[in-house]
Structure formats: structure tokens, C-alpha cells
């Protein structure tokens, strides 16, 4: 199972993004494969929040368009959303203790805990996931 970080979703639709080509190619291939692709709601909501923000994009997507894209991904038979299991908060706490910080890594720890719970590989351009022991991650294009 591959767990997709928000940055892959964002780069896949932003033709001007530095990692657009790798993100789009990876996402297109993954969505058309038999492997399970997990898009956690925290990543789905980040996609909608950021792509519709005029503070982030000079030409933000209309909300309806962002949800159409998201629904297109989520409607695929191979795509699921993941819910935290029992012990999720304790797993997050342990992961954050192991890296010695919280703050901006809290959402990453949430995704890392989801990945550990579901034996998933995180697909991301964010190298911070390497800080979490036992978490497997992959950068599209590598």
C-alpha cells in the first residue's frame, strides 16, 4: 500500500511546480495499478485548502474544481482513505519523542503512524519522513 502525502497531490496538478513531472507520472501510474493507494483525509483537505488559496497560488482553483479532482482520485477502486487505529495517539507520541520535537512535524507524525499501522510506504517529496525510525518512504522519480 502507498500512502500519498499532500505534496504529491499538489505537485501533480500544478504544471508550474518543480516536481510536477515526477508527481503526475507517479500518481497516474499508481491510480491505474492494482496496488492500494491511500489518500488520508488530512492530505485530501490540505490539497483543497492549498489549491484554492490565493495566498499560495496566483490563479487558485475554484473550490468545485478542487473537489472534482479530489473526487476523481477518491472514486478509483484502488483508492482508500485511512482512519487511525487504536493506539494511534500513542504511536504519534512515540514517533515525535524519537525525533525530539513536535510543531511542524505533528502532521508528518500522524501520517507516519498511519503508515506504520497499515504497513504502507509513504510517497512524498518531504525528506522529514526519514527522521521517523521504522517508517518506509519513497520520493517519486527516485
3-state secondary structure of 138: strand
Beta-carbon contacts of residue 99 (< 8 Å; ≥ 6 apart): 105, 109, 131, 132
- C-alpha dihedral over 66, 82, 100, 46, to 10 degrees? 10
Check whether 108 is labelled as a binding-site residue.
yes
Check whether 5 is labelled as a binding-site residue.
yes
Please report, in range form, the residues annotated as the binding site for Mg(2+). 5, 108
Please report, in range form, the residues annotated as the binding site. 5, 108
Amino acid at each position: 500500500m502507498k500512502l500519498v502525502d499532500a505534496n504529491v497531490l499538489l505537485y501533480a496538478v500544478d504544471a508550474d511546480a518543480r516536481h510536477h513531472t515526477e508527481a503526475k507520472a507517479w500518481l497516474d501510474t499508481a491510480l491505474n495499478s492494482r496496488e492500494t493507494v491511500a489518500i488520508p483525509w488530512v492530505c485530501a483537505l490540505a490539497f483543497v485548502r492549498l489549491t484554492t488559496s490565493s495566498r499560495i497560488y496566483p490563479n487558485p482553483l475554484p473550490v468545485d474544481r478542487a473537489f472534482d479532482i479530489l473526487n476523481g482520485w477518491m472514486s478509483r477502486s484502488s483508492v482508500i482513505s485511512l482512519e487511525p487505529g487504536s493506539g494511534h495517539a500513542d504511536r504519534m507520541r512515540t514517533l515525535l519523542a524519537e525525533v525530539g520535537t513536535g510543531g511542524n512535524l505533528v502532521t508528518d507524525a500522524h501520517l507516519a503512524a498511519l503508515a506504520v499501522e497499515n504497513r504502507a510506504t509513504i510517497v512524498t517529496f518531504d525528506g522529514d519522513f526519514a527522521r521517523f525510525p521504522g517508517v518506509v518512504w519513497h520520493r517519486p522519480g527516485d
